[in-house]
Structure 1
Amino acid sequence: MVKIAALMMIASGAIHAVVNAVLKSGDDMLARRALIDLSGGLLVLPAIFVFPAPHGAWGWLTGSLAVHAVYFLALVRAFEVADMSASYPVMRGTAPVFAALGGVVILGDAITLPVAVGMGLVTSGILLSAIGRNLTRAALGYSLLTGLAVACYTVLDAGGARHAPSPMSYIAWAFFILGAGVGAGFGAWRGRAFLAYTRSNWRSCVAAGALGVVSYGLAILAYSIGDLPRLAPLRESSILFALVIAILLLREKADRLKIAGGTLIFAGVVTLLLAR
């Protein structure tokens, strides 16, 4: 089951890279992010009539919703004060470390030396790609807060999936509540501008929303059967897949630091897959 969970996380990372590629293709990334989350929430609406409510996990789900609000606000501020190329690696590089610590302390998950080494390689590879980027103290602070928020909702969602009647129950209700909450909140904030953006961009965002449900749904399923210290870093393989997409499909140039970072991430993924 451990290997199955690990492979699910890699698949989740690959799909997440595609969602990020769609996200980055828009001119208003924040509105696009909200529309993708709202689309995902609406797509799982029929599922809440099929799977039971997540009794026993409402506290975890409520906490996840609150943390997602912090995550969204921190993400907005980070992207306002710094380029995404500078802040994003810090967010994603620190999140697995925070999540692993949360998994050990809160959920009682185990961590071995090979898993710690693999996690360190993945994190180092991600952070390496941020070297030389312009990152102010404020940008660093908001980026770290975003990474901490990612880790917190990861731990909460893992706990929720383990305490709900079934992982699918938690997934369906979490996506509906979180997606509707994010979409409604952002829509109220942007008002008519968000409605105008929705009319001209809904097709790609609905597709990305469906992929987002599959991506994070796989992650939550994996968390329900595996330990966070091993699994959380594996989802960050999305950055490795994103690098491949950027080079092969988008014809972007990759500097030596990105290639070195990708190599470390790959080494970390292999280490985590082989770790016992």
Structure 2
Amino acid sequence: MAEFAALMMIASGAIHAVVNAVLKSGDDKLASRALIDLSGGLLVLPAIFLFPAPHGAWGWLAGSLVVHAIYFLSLVRAFEVADMSASYPVMRGTAPVFAAMGSVAFLGDAITAPVAVGMGLVTTGIFASAIGRNLTWHALGWSLLTGMSVACYTVLDAGGVRNAPSPMSYIAWAFFVLGAVIGASFALYRGPQFITYARRNWRGCVAAGALGVVSYGLAMLAYSVEDLPRLAPLRESSILFALVIAVVFLGEKADRLKIAGGATIFAGVVTLLLAR
């Protein structure tokens, strides 16, 4: 199960990069975020009738909801003021380190030496790929806040899936609540602009909403069977896919640092897959 959990995290990272590329490419990122989250919430709506309510995990879910709101807002702002190839490495590079520290402190997870080495390689590679990018102090602040938010909701959701009656009960309710509360709030904030945007862009955002459910659903399933210090960096393999997407589909430039950073991330991923 531990190896299967690791593979789920890599798949989760690949899908996550696609979802963020859809968000980055939208001309109204807050409306895109609202539509993506609403779509995900509606897609899991039938599941909340199939699984028990997450008794024992409501506190974890409430905390995750608050942190996700901060995460979505900071993510939107980071993408508004910086290239994806610059902001994405910073936000995802800081996340696994903080998540590992939080999981040790609050969940009792362990960090072995090979896991620490793998995590260090992934984080180093992510930051190396961002060196020289057009990242202002303003954009750096939003990217760092996004990374810390990722770490916080990762720890909260790991606690949630482990304390709920079943992982699927927490996953279904988490996506439903996130869509119903955060997605609806963003949509109401945008007002008539959201309706106009949704009419033009609903296909891509609905697809991204479905992919988001699959991506983070896989991650939460993995959290239920394996320690976070090993898993969190594996999900950040999404940066490899994000760099390819940014260059091939968003027209951003590649250079030697990006290539070197990607190679270092790959070495870290291999180390984590082999770690015990």
TM-score in terms of structure 2 length: 0.94
- Which stretch shows the higher mean deviation, 208-217 or 136-145? 136-145
Match of 1:44, SS? helix
Q: Which residue of 2 aligns with 1:36?
A: 36
Q: Which residue of 1 aligns with 2:63?
A: 63
1:169 aligns with 2:158: no
- Which stretch shows the higher mean deviation, 134-143 or 99-108? 134-143
Following superposition, the deviation at residue 62 of structure 1 comes to: 0.2
Match of 2:224, SS? helix
Aligned runs of 1:1-276 on 2, under 5 Å?
A: 1-246=1-246, 253-276=253-276
Work out the CA distance in 2 between the residues paired with 1:146 and 1:241.
19
Match of 2:148, SS? helix
Q: How many equivalent residue pairs?
A: 276
Work out the CA distance in 1 between the residues paired with 2:85 and 2:146.
15
Following superposition, the deviation at residue 251 of structure 1 comes to: 7.4
Following superposition, the deviation at residue 84 of structure 1 comes to: 3.6
Distance 1:243 1:82, change over 3 A: closer
Q: Which residues of structure 2 form unaligned runs of 5+?
A: none
Following superposition, the deviation at residue 255 of structure 1 comes to: 1.0
Instruction: Output the aligned Cα RMSD.
Output: 1.7
Identity of aligned residues (%): 83
Deviations 1:140-189 (CA, angstroms, capped at 9, x unpaired): 22221111111000000000000000000000000000112121111121
- Which stretch shows the higher mean deviation, 246-255 or 21-30? 246-255
Distance 1:79 1:210, change over 3 A: closer
Return the letter of the residue paired with 1:97.
Answer: V
TM-score in terms of structure 1 length: 0.94
Return the letter of the residue paired with 1:87.
Answer: S
Distance 1:79 1:248, change over 3 A: closer
Work out the CA distance in 2 between the residues paired with 1:195 and 1:82.
26
- Which stretch shows the higher mean deviation, 232-241 or 58-67? 232-241
Deviations 1:87-116 (CA, angstroms, capped at 9, x unpaired): 221111101110010111110001011101
Deviations 1:230-268 (CA, angstroms, capped at 9, x unpaired): 000101111112334455667764211111111011001
Following superposition, the deviation at residue 80 of structure 1 comes to: 4.4
Return the letter of the residue paired with 1:155.
Answer: V
Following superposition, the deviation at residue 22 of structure 1 comes to: 2.5
